[in-house]
C-alpha cells in the first residue's frame, strides 16, 4: 500500500491504467512461479532450480514449436518437461534424501548446461509465429492481457487446493512437522515429490508465457526469476498468518515486487539497483518474521 | 572415610506451578564415593541433579559445598563451585582430535606478542594427563569420529575433568552403549573414586548402580525413600523401596482374557535394536510391553507401524503385512507416539486439523475437505473426550499436555481403528486425564479393539492390561498376568535388573 502511494506521488505515469495493467502483466509469470514455489515451501522444501528450469523450458518450447509448428504439441511438451524436471528434483530430495538446497541447486546447474549445449548459446527464432502462440503472452481479452487472466485463474486454483483439499492440508502438515506427518500415516515422500512436480509445472507454464512474450527462445531468459520468487515467498511467509506461505500471499508478494520493479524503472532508477532492493526486501522480511517470533521453516 | 561431604543438601524441595516434584530431600556425597540415585521416571532424581547443576533453583532447603552454604543461581555458579555434569548426549566435534575436543572452549593459549595462538602442545599434554588419570590408553590425536561409543563418553568425561571438579554427576551415562562398552565405561567410573572425587550416578539400570556404587539413594514420588549402603542393598530391596508399600499386589478386579482370533502376529522380529521379538495380540486384548528407556519397546511399535526397517514377519488379521505408515492407517492400525510434541502434533495447526489429519479421505469428496463435517466431527470428539479447548479453531499448541494427548487419541478413534499401538500414552499427562485415558482403553477393548500398550510405568500396565510382556535390551524376557502376586516387583526386577554377570565381570576387570 505504502509503495503504491509512494510511486503514485513520485511518478505521474505510475497511476495510468495502462501502466497498472502493465504491472499486472509483468507480474503474471512471477506470480505463477511463486504459486508453485509456495507448494514446495509449504511442505518445508526449497527449489533452487527455477531459473534453470524456466530457461530450458523456454528453449524446448521454442524448438518444438519451430520444428512442428503445432502450438498444442509445443505447450504439451513444455509442460511435460517442467513436470519431468520437478519429478527429478522431488526424487533427489524426497527419495534420495539430498538436502533441498543442494539437490535443486545442482539440478538448476544441469538444466542450464543442457540448455546451453542444445542452443550453443544462440537464440531459437520462431519463423512466422502463429497468432495462437503470440496470444498466450501478448493477447488481450477486452482490455485485460491474457497472462493476467491466466494468473488470476491459477491463483484461484492454488488458493482452493492449498486451503480446501486433502492435498493442501497434507502439504502444510508435512511442512509443519514432517515426523508427525509420518506418524499420522501421510506418505511424506510422495507428497514432497508432488510439490516439486507442481513447482516444475508452474515454472513451465510461466516459461510458455515468457516465450510468447519474447517471441523466441532466449538462452539468457529467466535468470532473475529465482531471486524474485524467493523474495515473493519470503514476503508471503512473513506477512501472513502462522509463518506459512499461502497462495494469496504469493500473489500479494509478487505484486509488491512488481510494483517495486515498475516504480523504480519509472523513476529512472538504474536497473541493477533493483537487485539491491530485492535483496534488502528478503533480509527485511526474514528479520521481520524472526522478530515476530515466527520460524521460517527452511531446511539447509 | 567420614569427612566433610563434598556436596550435601538438606530439606531440599522444588515446586513447579503448585506441584512439589521434590520434597524434604537430604542427600550427600563424600569425596571418593559413588552415590547412585535410582527411582522411576518422575521420582525426582532428575530434579535433584538439575538443582545441583544450577539449572533449577530450589524452592526450599539448602545446598552445601564442602560444608559451606552456597546458592546455585545458574549453571555457571555451580560449575565454578566444582560441580560438573556428564550428560547423556555426546557433543563431540567429529573431525577434531581427542585433545581438541577435551579442551574445546578452554584451549590453552600462547599469549606472546599480543597475539593469542592455540598451544597445541600444552593441549595434547593436558589431554594425555587426563587420560592417564583415567587409566585409559588412547592416542590424543585420534579424531573423535573414529572413537567407539565408550571412548566418546570418556572424552566427554575428560572435558569435565580438566576443570578439576569436586563432584561429577553422571546422568544415565550408559544409555545406548553396547554390553562391552558399558562395562568398559563402568570400570572407568568405578576407578574414578580413587582420585577423591565425589560422584553422583543416576541410572535406571539397577545392576549398574549395585555394581559400582558405595551408597544408593532411592526416590519415589519426589521424596527420598531411603539410602542404602552397598552391603545392605539388594535388587529386591531396592525395587520394593521404589514400588512402596502401596504397590500393586496384583489387580483385584479379575479381567477375563478375551479369546478372539489374533489380529496382530509378530514373528521373530530382528532389527538394529530388536532381538527375536515374537507375540500375538488377540481381538479385544490389551497387551502391555513393559520396558525401561532404551529397552526397545518403542522400536517394536515403530516396526509394526512401518517406521523402522526390520527382519521378520508381521501378520495383520492373518495376512502377511509389509508395514508402511500409509498402509498401516489403511489397515486400521493406530499409533499414539511416545514423543507427543515431536511425533504427534502439528503445533501450528488448529485442533480440528490435528484431529482429522490421519483420515482426511473419510470426510473428503473428490479430494476436497468437507469443512462442515470436519467441524462437526471435531466438536463431537471435543465433547465426547471432554477436551478442554476454546473450540476447533484453537491452535493445538495452546492446549495442555493432557488435552493434546486426547486430540491425538481422537485422531485415531475417529478413524475407527482395529489395532492400536499406544506408546507411553500417559507421559506428561495430568492424573485426571490419565484415568480418562485408561477408561477409554477399557471401552475400546470392550468394543473388540486390540491395544498394544508400551509403557515404562508398571502400575499403569497392571491396571489396564490383560497380559504384560517385559522387554530388556531389545528382547522379550518375561510374560506376566496382572493378577499374579507381587506382580509389580516381579516385572520391575525383570525390567531393571537380573543380570548377574555384570558385577562379576566388573570385578574381574579390576
A3: in domain: no
Cα(B484)–Cα(B163) distance, rounded to whole angstroms? 52
To 5 degrees, how large is the angle CA A141–CA A143–CA A144? Answer: 60
Contact B329 A180 (CB under 8 A): no
- The pLDDT-based confidence of B39 (bands split at 50, 70, 90) is confident
Compute the average pLDDT of residues B414-430.
89
A284: in domain: yes
Contact B347 A176 (CB under 8 A): yes
- The pLDDT-based confidence of B2 (bands split at 50, 70, 90) is low
Cα(A26)–Cα(A22) distance, rounded to whole angstroms? 6
> Using N-to-C axis directions, what is the helix angle for B179-192 and B501-509, rounded to 10°?
60
Predicted local confidence at residue B366, as pLDDT: 82
* CA of A203 vs chain B CAs: smallest distance (Å): 24
Q: Which domains does chain B have, with CATH numbers?
A: 7-92+147-246 (3.40.50.300), 260-332+417-493 (3.40.50.300), 343-416 (no CATH)
- The pLDDT-based confidence of A300 (bands split at 50, 70, 90) is very low
pLDDT of B321 > 70? The answer is yes
Q: Which of A164, A173, A177 sits opposite B369 (nearest CB)?
A: A164
Task: Show residues of chain A in contact with B302, CB under 8 Å.
Answer: none
pLDDT of B180 > 80? The answer is no
Q: CB contact, 8 Å: A166 with chain B?
A: yes
Q: CB contact, 8 Å: A173 with chain B?
A: yes
Which H/E stretch holds residue B470?
strand B467-472
Task: Show residues of chain A in contact with B324, CB under 8 Å.
Answer: 187
Cα(B464)–Cα(B442) distance, rounded to whole angstroms? 7
Using a cut of 0.95, tell me whether the model's pTM lies above it.
Answer: no
Predicted local confidence at residue B467, as pLDDT: 93
How large a percentage of chain B has pLDDT more than 90? 45
- The pLDDT-based confidence of B36 (bands split at 50, 70, 90) is very high
Q: CB contact, 8 Å: B320 with chain A?
A: no
- Hey, which residues 231-260 in chain A have their CB within 8 Å of chain B? 242-244
Q: CB contact, 8 Å: A180 with chain B?
A: yes
A298: in domain: no
Gyration radius (Cα) of chain A, Å: 19
Which H/E stretch holds residue B372?
helix B371-384
Q: CB contact, 8 Å: A192 with chain B?
A: no
CA–centroid distance for B32 within its chain: 28
Q: CB contact, 8 Å: B415 with chain A?
A: no
pLDDT of A16 > 80? The answer is no
Task: Show residues of chain A in contact with B363, CB under 8 Å.
Answer: none
Q: CB contact, 8 Å: B375 with chain A?
A: no
Q: Are B379 and B352 in contact (CB under 8 A)?
A: no
Mutate to test the interface with B, among A175, A182, A185, A296 (most CBs of B within 10 A): A185
Domain that holds residue A40: 28-291
A22: in domain: no
Predicted local confidence at residue B502, as pLDDT: 57
- Strand partners for B266: B279, B314
Query: Which range scores top for mean pLDDT: A126-135, A157-166, B154-163, B177-186?
Result: A157-166
pLDDT of B441 > 60? The answer is yes
* CA of B22 vs chain A CAs: smallest distance (Å): 33
Mean pLDDT across chain B, nearest whole number? 86
Q: Are A134 and A212 in contact (CB under 8 A)?
A: yes
Q: CB contact, 8 Å: B362 with chain A?
A: no
Cα(A174)–Cα(A194) distance, rounded to whole angstroms? 12
Nearest CA in chain B to A242: B348
Q: CB contact, 8 Å: B425 with chain A?
A: no
Q: Which of B328, B343, B367 sits opposite A167 (nearest CB)?
A: B367
b/e map A114-125, b = 16+ CB within 10 Å:
ebbebbeeeebe
Q: Which is nearest to B494 in space by CA: B235, B293, B276, B233? A: B235
- The pLDDT-based confidence of B254 (bands split at 50, 70, 90) is very low
Cα(A189)–Cα(A175) distance, rounded to whole angstroms? 12
* CA of A186 vs chain B CAs: smallest distance (Å): 6
Q: CB contact, 8 Å: B70 with chain A?
A: no
Cα(B154)–Cα(B174) distance, rounded to whole angstroms? 11
The region of weakest confidence among A127-136, A143-152, B317-326 is A127-136
Cα(B60)–Cα(B52) distance, rounded to whole angstroms? 13
Residue with the bigger pLDDT between B453 and B457: it is B453
- The pLDDT-based confidence of A185 (bands split at 50, 70, 90) is very high
Hey, what's the cell of A293?
Answer: 517470533
Number of alpha carbons in the 13 Å side-chain half-sphere of residue B439: 9
Position of cell 514476503? A235
Contact B326 A184 (CB under 8 A): no
Task: Show residues of chain B in contact with A166, CB under 8 Å.
Answer: 360-361, 364, 367-369
Residue pLDDT, tens place only, A79-114: 999 999 999 999 999 999 999 999 999 999 999 999
pLDDT of A4 > 70? The answer is no
Residue with the bigger pLDDT between B94 and A19: it is B94
Hey, what's the cell of A157?
Answer: 486454483
Mutate to test the interface with A, among B323, B332, B357 (most CBs of A within 10 A): B357
Predicted local confidence at residue B112, as pLDDT: 67
Residue pLDDT, tens place only, A263-298: 888 788 887 887 888 788 778 777 776 666 544 443
Cα(B497)–Cα(B392) distance, rounded to whole angstroms? 46
Q: Which of A165, A184, A244 sits opposite B357 (nearest CB)?
A: A184
> Using N-to-C axis directions, what is the helix angle for A188-214 and A146-164, rounded to 10°?
170
Predicted local confidence at residue B21, as pLDDT: 85
How large a percentage of chain A has pLDDT more than 70? 89
CATH code of residue A124: 1.10.3470
Compute the average pLDDT of residues B359-376.
87
What is the number of domains present in chain A? 1
Compute the average pLDDT of residues B459-486.
90
A118: in domain: yes
Provide the H-helix boundaries in A122-224.
131-138, 146-164, 166-176, 178-183, 188-214
pLDDT of B251 > 50? The answer is no
pLDDT of B346 > 50? The answer is yes
The region of weakest confidence among A34-38, A222-226, B152-156, B495-499 is B495-499
Task: Show residues of chain A in contact with B347, CB under 8 Å.
Answer: 176-177
pLDDT of B250 > 50? The answer is no
Cα(A247)–Cα(B341) distance, rounded to whole angstroms? 28
A199: in domain: yes
A107: in domain: yes
Contact A176 B361 (CB under 8 A): no
pLDDT of B423 > 90? The answer is yes
Residue pLDDT, tens place only, A249-266: 899 889 888 888 888 887
Mean pLDDT across chain A, nearest whole number? 87
Q: CB contact, 8 Å: B361 with chain A?
A: yes
How large a percentage of chain B has pLDDT more than 70? 93
A10: in domain: no
Cα(B442)–Cα(B436) distance, rounded to whole angstroms? 10
Contact A164 B349 (CB under 8 A): no
Position of cell 527449489? A47
* CA of A26 vs chain B CAs: smallest distance (Å): 32
Contact A186 B326 (CB under 8 A): yes
Q: CB contact, 8 Å: A299 with chain B?
A: no
Compute the average pLDDT of residues B347-372.
89
- The pLDDT-based confidence of A36 (bands split at 50, 70, 90) is very high
pLDDT of A13 > 60? The answer is yes
Contact B348 A242 (CB under 8 A): yes
Predicted local confidence at residue B498, as pLDDT: 56
Any long-range contacts for A13-19 (C-beta under 8 Å, 24+ apart)?
A13/A266, A14/A262, A14/A263, A14/A266, A19/A262, A19/A266
Mutate to test the interface with A, among B306, B308, B325 (most CBs of A within 10 A): B325
* CA of A297 vs chain B CAs: smallest distance (Å): 12
Compute the average pLDDT of residues B272-300.
90
The region of weakest confidence among A262-271, B201-210, B388-397 is A262-271
pLDDT of B445 > 50? The answer is yes
Contact B367 A173 (CB under 8 A): no
Any long-range contacts for A142-148 (C-beta under 8 Å, 24+ apart)?
A143/A21, A144/A21, A145/A21, A145/A24, A145/A25, A145/A28, A147/A25, A147/A28, A147/A29, A147/A209, A147/A213, A148/A21, A148/A24, A148/A25, A148/A28
Contact B368 A166 (CB under 8 A): yes
Q: Which of B344, B349, B361 sits opposite A166 (nearest CB)?
A: B361
- Cβ-Cβ pairs closer than 8 A, A with B, add up to 77
Other CB atoms within 10 Å distance of the CB of residue B175: 15
Task: Show residues of chain A in contact with B361, CB under 8 Å.
Answer: 166
Amino acid at each position: 500500500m505504502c509503495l503504491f502511494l509512494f510511486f503514485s506521488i513520485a511518478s505521474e505515469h505510475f497511476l495510468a491504467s495502462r501502466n497498472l495493467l502493465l504491472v499486472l502483466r509483468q507480474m503474471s509469470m512471477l506470480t505463477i512461479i511463486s504459486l508453485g514455489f509456495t507448494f514446495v515451501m509449504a511442505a518445508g522444501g526449497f527449489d533452487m532450480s527455477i531459473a534453470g528450469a524456466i530457461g530450458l523450458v523456454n528453449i524446448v518450447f521454442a524448438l518444438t514449436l519451430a520444428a512442428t509448428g503445432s502450438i498444442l504439441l509445443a505447450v504439451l511438451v513444455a509442460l511435460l518437461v517442467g513436470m519431468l524436471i520437478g519429478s527429478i528434483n522431488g526424487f533427489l530430495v524426497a527419495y534420495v534424501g539430498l538436502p533441498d538446497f543442494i539437490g535443486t541447486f545442482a539440478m538448476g546447474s544441469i538444466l542450464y548446461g543442457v540448455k546451453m549445449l542444445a542452443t550453443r548459446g544462440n537464440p531459437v527464432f520462431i519463423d512466422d509465429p502463429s497468432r495462437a502462440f503470440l496470444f498466450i503472452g501478448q493477447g488481450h481479452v477486452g482490455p485485460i492481457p491474457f497472462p493476467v487472466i491466466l494468473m488470476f485463474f491459477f491463483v484461484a486454483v492454488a488458493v482452493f487446493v492449498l486451503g480446501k483439499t486433502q492435498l493442501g492440508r497434507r502439504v502444510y502438515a508435512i511442512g509443519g512437522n514432517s515426523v508427525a506427518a509420518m506418524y499420522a500415516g501421510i506418505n511424506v515422500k510422495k507428497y514432497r515429490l508432488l510439490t516439486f512436480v507442481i513447482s516444475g509445472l508452474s515454472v513451465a507454464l510461466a516459461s510458455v508465457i515468457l516465450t510468447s512474450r519474447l517471441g523466441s527462445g532466449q538462452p539468457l531468459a529467466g535468470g532473475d526469476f529465482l531471486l524474485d520468487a524467493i523474495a515473493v515467498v519470503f514476503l508471503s511467509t512473513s506477512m501472513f498468518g502462522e509463518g506459512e506461505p499461502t497462495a494469496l500471499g504469493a500473489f500479494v508478494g509478487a505484486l509488491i515486487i512488481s510494483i517495486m520493479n515498475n516504480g523504480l524503472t519509472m523513476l529512472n532508477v538504474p536497473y541493477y539497483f533493483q537487485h539491491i532492493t530485492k535483496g534488502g526486501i528478503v533480509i527485511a522480511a526474514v528479520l521481520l518474521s524472526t522478530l515476530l517470533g515466527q520460524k521460517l521453516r527452511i531446511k539447509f | 572415610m567420614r569427612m566433610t561431604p563434598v556436596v550435601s543438601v538438606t530439606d531440599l524441595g522444588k515446586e513447579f506451578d503448585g506441584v512439589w516434584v521434590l520434597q524434604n530431600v537430604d542427600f550427600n556425597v563424600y569425596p571418593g564415593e559413588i552415590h547412585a540415585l535410582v527411582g522411576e521416571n518422575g521420582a525426582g532424581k532428575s530434579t535433584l541433579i538439575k538443582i545441583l547443576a544450577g539449572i533449577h533453583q530450589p524452592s526450599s532447603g539448602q545446598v552445601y559445598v564442602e560444608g559451606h552454604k552456597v546458592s546455585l543461581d545458574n549453571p555457571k555458579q555451580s560449575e565454578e563451585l566444582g560441580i560438573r555434569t556428564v550428560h547423556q548426549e555426546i557433543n563431540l566435534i567429529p573431525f577434531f582430535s581427542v585433545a581438541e575436543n577435551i579442551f574445546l572452549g578452554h584451549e590453552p593459549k600462547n599469549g606472546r606478542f599480543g597475539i593469542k595462538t592455540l598451544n597445541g602442545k600444552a593441549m595434547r599434554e593436558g589431554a594425555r594427563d587426563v587420560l592417564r588419570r583415567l587409566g585409559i590408553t588412547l592416542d590424543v590425536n585420534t579424531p573423535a569420529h573414529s572413537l567407539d561409543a565408550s571412548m566418546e563418553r570418556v572424552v566427554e568425561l575428560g572435558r569435565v575433568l580438566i576443570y578439576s571438579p569436586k563432584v561429577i554427576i553422571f546422568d544415565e551415562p550408559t544409555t545406548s552403549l553396547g554390553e562391552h562398552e558399558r562395562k568398559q565405561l563402568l570400570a572407568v567410573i568405578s576407578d574414578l573414586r580413587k582420585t577423591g572425587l565425589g560422584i553422583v550416578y543416576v541410572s535406571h539400570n539397577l545392576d549398574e548402580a549395585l555394581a559400582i556404587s558405595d551408597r544408593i539413594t532411592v526416590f519415589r514420588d519426589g521424596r527420598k525413600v531411603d539410602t542404602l549402603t552397598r552391603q545392605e542393598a539388594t535388587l529386591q530391596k531396592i525395587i520394593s523401596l521404589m514400588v512402596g508399600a502401596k504397590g500393586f499386589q496384583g489387580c483385584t478386579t479379575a479381567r477375563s482374557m478375551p479369546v478372539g482370533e489374533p489380529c496382530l502376529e509378530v514373528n521373530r522380529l530382528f532389527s538394529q535394536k530388536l532381538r527375536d521379538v515374537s507375540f500375538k495380540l488377540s481381538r479385544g486384548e490389551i497387551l502391555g510391553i513393559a520396558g525401561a528407556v532404551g529397552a526397545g519397546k518403542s522400536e517394536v511399535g515403530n516396526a509394526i507401524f512401518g517406521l523402522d526397517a526390520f527382519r521378520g514377519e508381521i501378520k495383520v488379521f492373518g495376512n502377511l503385512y509389509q508395514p508402511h505408515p500409509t498402509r498401516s492407517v489403511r489397515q486400521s492400525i493406530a499409533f499414539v507416539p511416545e514423543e507427543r510434541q515431536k511425533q504427534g502434533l502439528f503445533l501450528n495447526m488448529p485442533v480440528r486439523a490435528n484431529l482429522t489429519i490421519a483420515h482426511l479421505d473419510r470426510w473428503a469428496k473428490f479430494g476436497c475437505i468437507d469443512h462442515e463435517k470436519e467441524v462437526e466431527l471435531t466438536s463431537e470428539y471435543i465433547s465426547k473426550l471432554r477436551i478442554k479447548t476454546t473450540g476447533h479453531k484453537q491452535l493445538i499448541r495452546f492446549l495442555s499436555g493432557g488435552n493434546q494427548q486426547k486430540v491425538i487419541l481422537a485422531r485415531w478413534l475417529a478413524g475407527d481403528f482395529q489395532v492400536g499401538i499406544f506408546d507411553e500414552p500417559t507421559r506428561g499427562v495430568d492424573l485426571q486425564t490419565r484415568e480418562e485415558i485408561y477408561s477409554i482403553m477399557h471401552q475400546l477393548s470392550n468394543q473388540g479393539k486390540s491395544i498394544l500398550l508400551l509403557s515404562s510405568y508398571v502400575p499403569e500396565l497392571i491396571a489396564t492390561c490383560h497380559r504384560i510382556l517385559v522387554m530388556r535390551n531389545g528382547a522379550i524376557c518375561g510374560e506376566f498376568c496382572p493378577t499374579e502376586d507381587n506382580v509389580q516387583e516381579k516385572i520391575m526386577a525383570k525390567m531393571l535388573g537380573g543380570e548377574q554377570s555384570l558385577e562379576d565381570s566388573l570385578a574381574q576387570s579390576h
